[in-house]
Each structure stands twice: as C-alpha cells, then as structure tokens.
Amino acid sequence: MIIWRPFELHTHTIHSDADHTLAELVNSVKGNELEGFALTDHNTTSGWTECNSLEKTSDICILKGMECTTFHGHMILLGLNEYEDWRQFTLENINDKIENIHDKGGIIGIAHPFQIGSPISTGAHWEYEISDWNKINYMEVWHGPLPYKQEYNKRAYALWTELLNRGYKIAGSYGRDWHKSRASEQAFAVTCLGIDKDRACDIEKDALDAIANGRMIVTLGPIINLAIECEVTGEKFEIGEEAVIEDNVGEIKVLLELGFNNKNYEWKLEQQQLNISIMSNLAELAVVGCPMQNTKKEIYLPSRELRWLRAELFGQIENKVEMIAFTNPIYIKFLRR
C-alpha cells in the first residue's frame, strides 16, 4: 500500500542566498508537519555535512541536492554523491551533461522554467535545448507562493502537458524555493511522495525513487489519488506507472480518492463542493463533484487512444475557481494483438 508523504523539493539556506540556517529550515519543515525536504542550495553542497546530525535529532528526511544555477537555466540535481560544477554547462554540451548525471545515478528536475530571467533572476528562465525530454525526470510546474495563479506556472504546466502529449514521460513537481523561515500568510503547496509502506526501509532511497518515477501528488492540502484497475486481470496501476492494457478493453475503471489530514501544511479552504477533472492526451474526459471530506469514487472511461491520465482538483479560492491539487500521470500502453 502506498502512503503519501509531504515533502518540500526546493529549499535554500545561508550556504547560498537564503536567510535561514539549515537547523532553522529543519524546524520550519517540522512545524509545517512535512516529513522531509530536498536541500538545494545554489551551486554548493557545503550544507550536506550538517544533514546527518540534523536528521537524527529531528526525524526529518533530508535529500542532499543542489540547484545547479547557470546563466541559461536552473536545474535541481538529487541523488548524487558529489558536487556538479555549474561552470561546465554550455548551450552546446547540455545533453551530454544530462546523460552523464544520469550515468552517475542522479535525478534531474528543471526549476521554474518560465520565471523571469536576467536582470531579475539570472538564468531563471530555461533556455537550453533538450534533445530527449525522457532524460529529464521532472519539471517544477508549480513554483513559489500562490502557485495556482502565477502566469509563469501556467506556462510551465502547459509545456508539461504538451510534452506528455508528445509521448514523453516526465513528472511535474512543486518547489517552494524556500528562502525564509518566518511565517507567511500566503498559500504554498507541497509535493507528496508515494512510498510503499510495506517495502519502505530507507526513507531517503524511497523518496528519491518516488521522485525519479513520478510517484508524486502536488497539492495545497487535500490528497487526490488516482488509480486504474483492469477489470479482466484485477491488476491495479498507480500514479507514475505504465498501465499495460488489452487492446480490446472498451472501458477502463478509474479509482479516485480525496483525503484530508488536517496537517499544518494544508491551506485551509472554505467549505464547498470540489470538482475533480480527469485530464488526458484526449483533453478533459470527465468532471466528478466531491464534497470536502474523505471520499472514494469509481468511474468508467472509454480507453480508446488514451496514452496518459491525471487528476486535477478544483475549488474556489478568494471567489475564483482555481486548481488546488494535481496528480502525476498514469501512462497507458495497449497490447496490440
């Protein structure tokens, strides 16, 4: 059984340009009732030496990473054992560099691809030409405070959808780009990582595996879960997986689940009816109304020509319908006979 653990995947400390120390960040993460975070200081791994002792005293999982901050784009690197020199990345060699990072067991996420670049934030706008998007593990499609209404996030989200439609497997994440520990009145999201409770042994390894394989839900609070069940074999496919389905199955069974935990990281929504939209390569397939409580629903959808599916949760924030959460896709492959 998969449980969804709330993590923050993009943080900074005084080891680069943030206001807080790593110990202060750990306290804030704990105060928000998150279970872990990725330490992604700009172009330095100097904070890594503090991680082990802070993990022990806090019980917070820290993924050692860095934000490779270059003049043509920012990349989050996770799962590496060594520093990656940002000065070596050029418009010409980027694809070789990406290949090399994968060979070393690294995970690559593109940070805030459409944020305004120079002179506001040098290199924040992604300009590199990627030859194979399957080599990018994930893209930060939501970033910063009030992520649902930022125009640059809408562009990132649209690019993600376009890449999925072109057949690439790439995950979507949220990054708070956490620089200050002081309290804020603004809404932030979290990325929940799907970890198999029965197999979990090393939380750091399991968290990296969830990120690398798109087992992620991004949310302002409620957990929206999606699965596909094959009625013939009884096989169940979860977020991030590829569902292999017989070509002659006319309909697929889609399982939806909405859950509330009342944790500190959850943005408090007004009581209302929420809507779950099932998005796919064939655009929106269904809209399912849900009360604001723990709910399970089953729907049947025509399977023809489906290549991927994801769920998106919508509701009112400040009298406007906004996206509150989204899942990563389940990919679909038909067994042609």
CA distance 169 to 210: 14
φ, ψ for residue 208 (rounded to 5)?
A: -65, -40
**177 lies in the site for Zn ion, by CB under 5 A:** yes
Q: How far is CA 88 from the centre of its chain?
A: 27
CB atoms near residue 235 (< 10 Å): 12
Return all residues near 120 (Cβ < 8 A) that are at least 6 apart: none
Site residues for Zn ion, 48-67, by CB under 5 A, read 67
Which span sits near Zn ion by CB under 5 A: 13-21, 132-140, 175-183, 205-213?
A: 175-183
Question: Which residue is closest to Zn ion by CB?
Answer: 74
Min dist CB 124 to Zn ion, Å, is 5
| Whole-angstrom Cα Rg for the chain | 19
Cβ-based nearer residue to Zn ion, 67 or 209: 67
Q: Which of 111, 159, 192, 223 binds Zn ion (CB under 5 A)?
A: 111
Min dist CB 218 to Zn ion, Å, is 17
Min dist CB 184 to Zn ion, Å, is 16
CB atoms near residue 103 (< 10 Å): 8
Min dist CB 140 to Zn ion, Å, is 9
**41 lies in the site for Zn ion, by CB under 5 A:** no
CA distance 193 to 63: 13
CB atoms near residue 196 (< 10 Å): 14
Which span sits near Zn ion by CB under 5 A: 106-114, 150-158, 288-296, 322-330?
A: 106-114
Cβ-based nearer residue to Zn ion, 63 or 317: 63
Min dist CB 261 to Zn ion, Å, is 27
E strand or H helix at 326, and its extent?
A: strand 320-327
Min dist CB 21 to Zn ion, Å, is 17
Min dist CB 47 to Zn ion, Å, is 13
CA distance 11 to 5: 17
Cβ-based nearer residue to Zn ion, 128 or 331: 128
Cβ-based nearer residue to Zn ion, 64 or 74: 74
Cβ-based nearer residue to Zn ion, 120 or 183: 120
Under 8 Å between Cβ of 108 and 77: yes
CA distance 179 to 21: 10
Give the DSSP per-residue string, 254-315.
Answer: EEEEEE----TTS--PPS--EEEEEEETTEEEEEEEE-SS-EEEEEEEE-TT--EEEEEEEE
Q: Which of 5, 15, 64, 74 binds Zn ion (CB under 5 A)?
A: 74
Min dist CB 143 to Zn ion, Å, is 9
Cβ-based nearer residue to Zn ion, 116 or 158: 116
Cβ-based nearer residue to Zn ion, 8 or 177: 177
**108 lies in the site for Zn ion, by CB under 5 A:** no
Cβ-based nearer residue to Zn ion, 36 or 315: 36
* Binding stretches for Zn ion (CB under 5 A): 67, 74, 111, 177
